[in-house]
Amino acid sequence: MALSDFILNSKETTIGLDEIHLSEENKALLAQLLKEFKHLPILEQYQLPVDNKVFLAGHTGCGKTTTAKAIAQALDKKIIVLNVGNIVSSRLGETAKNITEVFKKAIREKAVLFLDEFDSIGRLRDQEDKDSAEMKRLVNTVIQLIDELPNDTLLIAATNHASIIDSALLRRFQLKLKFNLPNQEALDDYYDSLLERFPKEIRNVERVYNISYAEAKDITFRAMKNIIIANEEVKALNKLHNNVER
């Protein structure tokens, strides 16, 4: 397959970092990241590396992908999105070659490289012994690629299963952000932000807790669609009834 077959081009509208419901710790870490890239030339004069390797871990649907895209937007950089699970092949040498090509593309374009499902590499090391040497070579290839990443290229890796990733890989990331399920207060704020676009008289939807932001969004929008469609159908029936009476 061609390299372009592995790279995902999202058509979703990117929102700003300030619109994402991030923890205070994550906000502080990302604010520092943006400042370092803003002042990259002066930092390089003093031979100071920027923190350009970011690891996002946590529950699915809590904003990891959205955050990666928002970081790229804030830095005015192109984002290259690669689902590592899709690129992994039974021929591990081919996998290493493909990942290397993606890194080279990101470096050429001084882009943000977003590696989703990064745990797929970690899982490879848990396979049968007959492939262990090849698997170790793949992980070593990725480690080398990360170590050689220039300052003007940003690597973001994301996973829902951080515990299975090799510790040697994890050590390469200077910034590690945790994405936990939001508490009730955070979800209420999020529900409020989703509902504010709708008329007040139809905002009273059942709120579910102990779920991710993505799940809350799906629940809210599904409820709003049902209410809006039901109202339109009532209007249509009333109009039909009025026409019959005439």
Residue 35's pLDDT is 98
- For the stretch 70-91, pLDDT in tens is 999 999 999 999 998 888 766 6
pTM assigned to the model: 0.85
Of 48-62, 122-136, 146-160, the one with minimum mean pLDDT is: 122-136
Q: Which residues pair with 114 in a beta bridge?
A: 81, 156
Say whether pLDDT at 226 is over 50: yes
pLDDT number for residue 105: 95
- Does pLDDT of 5 surpass 60? no
Q: Residue 146: pLDDT above 60? A: yes
Which residues neighbour 228 within 8 Å (Cβ) at sequence distance 6 or greater?
A: 202
Average pLDDT for the chain = 88
For residue 91, the number of C-alpha atoms closer than 13 Å in the C-beta half-sphere is 5
Of all residues in the chain, the percent with pLDDT exceeding 90 is 69
Sheet holding 154-159, edge to edge: 7-8, 79-83, 112-116, 154-159, 53-58, 175-179
Closest CA to 95 of 137, 123, 148: 137
Mean pLDDT along residues 133-154: 90
- pLDDT of 11 strictly over 50: no
Helices (H), 61-125: 64-75, 84-87, 92-108, 119-124
Reported as half-sphere exposure (CB side, CA atoms, 13 A), residue 169 has a value of 27
Report the run of H or E that residue 237 belongs to, with start and end: helix 213-245
Strand locations in the chain, DSSP E?
7-8, 53-58, 79-83, 112-116, 154-159, 175-179
Residue pLDDT, tens place only, 172-214: 999 999 999 999 999 999 999 999 999 999 999 999 999 999 9
